[in-house]
A and B are shown apart, each in its own frame.
Chain A
Amino acid sequence: MAEVLVYVDHVDGAVRKPTLELLTLARRIGEPVAVHLGANAEDAAKILGEHGAVKVLAADAPEFAEYLVAPKVDALQAAYDAVSPAAVLLPSSAEGKEIAARLALRIGSGIITDAVDVEAGDEGPVATQSVFAASYTTKSRITKGTPVITVKPNSAAPEAAPAAGTVEQLAVTVADSSKGTKIVSRTPRESTGRPDLTEAAIVVSGGRGVNGADNFPVIEALADSLGAAVGASRAAVDAGWYPHTNQVGQTGKSVSPQLYIAAGISGAIQHRAGMQTSKTIVAINKDEEAPIFELVDYGVVGDLFDVVPALTDEVKTRKG
């Protein structure tokens, strides 16, 4: 059976959920071989094996942390040369897409980014994408070389599929030309204790209607009652009420959780582009004409400062 390379997104060996989703999708095309770059491959291998990785190609080099992106492309290319895979899957993060693009160019292959589904097809993997602010769904495939595909988080439910997950060391030579962009310093983001926005099953977002940074705890309280991530519209971020890393939309993060709750968000096209693929959409807004109501499964026309706290209390009561 053909092998499929899966690029592992992790923080010091703690594998992030989108990678497990990639393994699930990879099994539709062939045998997943994970590529783990950086420390603690043994820790990662355990969970990667549980999700179907027959093999974990591991490499650790100081250059991965010292320089931006390019050394990781060298490593993934080494893995590609070692395996000759049927496809290469990466997460659709900023870094994942950049690595994918450079790898595709090097190995003479086409690239598809932001797939929301991947299936086996007669002429190679077929990727589904959601385009034009999710108003269209396209099916695409790669016609030259080995398909390189990046996949959005929450595109598949990770399935357990025990496999060997044997760790093999991958020999990597980082080219001098890959040491062009120095990472002078790195400040890990402080954990809020909430789920990661792109990975969360539930997202609660606040917008212009939240009317100030001081009011965002109302949104956070609802999120915490549901075990959800907190998002913000561009208007709220531009006003300085919430960090840009939480921005949902065309220029922020694209999310597709099981449940998306928009509070005080009118639903401009740019915001819709980032959340329209959410499975269930709920909105709370004073303005009954707000375009967000065109998208909702359930909408409440009302003041979010009445509705959200009442909902939070009700969730807490029901959860006991």
Chain B
Amino acid sequence: MRRRRALWFWVFVGPFAAGLALFTYVPLLWSVGLSFFDAHNTVTPTDFVGLDNYTAMLKDGAFTGSLRTFLVFTAFIVPVTFALSLALALMVNRVRRAQAFFRSVFFLPAACSYVVAALIWKMSIFNGVRFGLANTLLGLFGTDSVAWLSTTHPPWYWLVIVTVRLWLQAGFYMILFLAGLQRIDPVLYEAAAVDGARPGWTVLRHITLPQLRATSVAVLLLLVINAFQAFDEFYNLLSDARGYPPYARPPLVYLYYTALGQGQNLGLGSAGAVILALIIAIVTVGQARWLRLGKSGEE
């Protein structure tokens, strides 16, 4: 009987587990292996170099610089997206008429790809020429045109990068917050009103935000993980036929060019991927611990 249950368990779970093992665990292990070899253009290298790839990677200013880029990017995008999506949710939640309309409008960009969004930003809004939308608006105030994507002092390109992601993602996180808001027991608000709390800031601080804690934790975690994965908008906004500018290179963009660019240095790229995977795992677990994820409401 027990044997038969085990058999059925593997009939259901087996294909998925085998595929996951093959396409996640095997590549990871292979990558760890490759990272100890000198592997140019080959996946079966013979030249063992020990930790050389790792030390090369950690000494490489471009790689550590890419980690710094990621930190700056995260420091921008996480709080801003969090605040905007929460604000949208609070407003949409209290709208009486046309709630579905506003929800759809803010959520609609989630259907767009980074490639398409980057195209609109790069070629139409922030194209850096006088007739671009942003520069036309600046012109109305008598300000000179800005070459948005190539201005590094001050770093105007950050404005372009951050607003793309904001437009694409805020609606998605708004949906999460809306779901959280709708789960709050109205009795809490009634009790607050009886106690004389005025609607607005006080209620928001003492009832709404504490009740949204679980959602907020989840949103923060997702935001950080997604920031780590940033690739599409950087690549599509900043690279052109001449290549990629040396600034604003997040880790994945750097790895892409290292491993699959001209040199095809798979050993070095693998070492970078392993380092990045470790950082992400540590940050995710640390963040989950710190925010005490899963302590409440889990089965």
Q: Do A and B come from one complex?
A: no
- Using CB atoms and an 8 Å cutoff, list the residues of chain A in contact with chain B: none
- Using CB atoms and an 8 Å cutoff, list the residues of chain B in contact with chain A: none
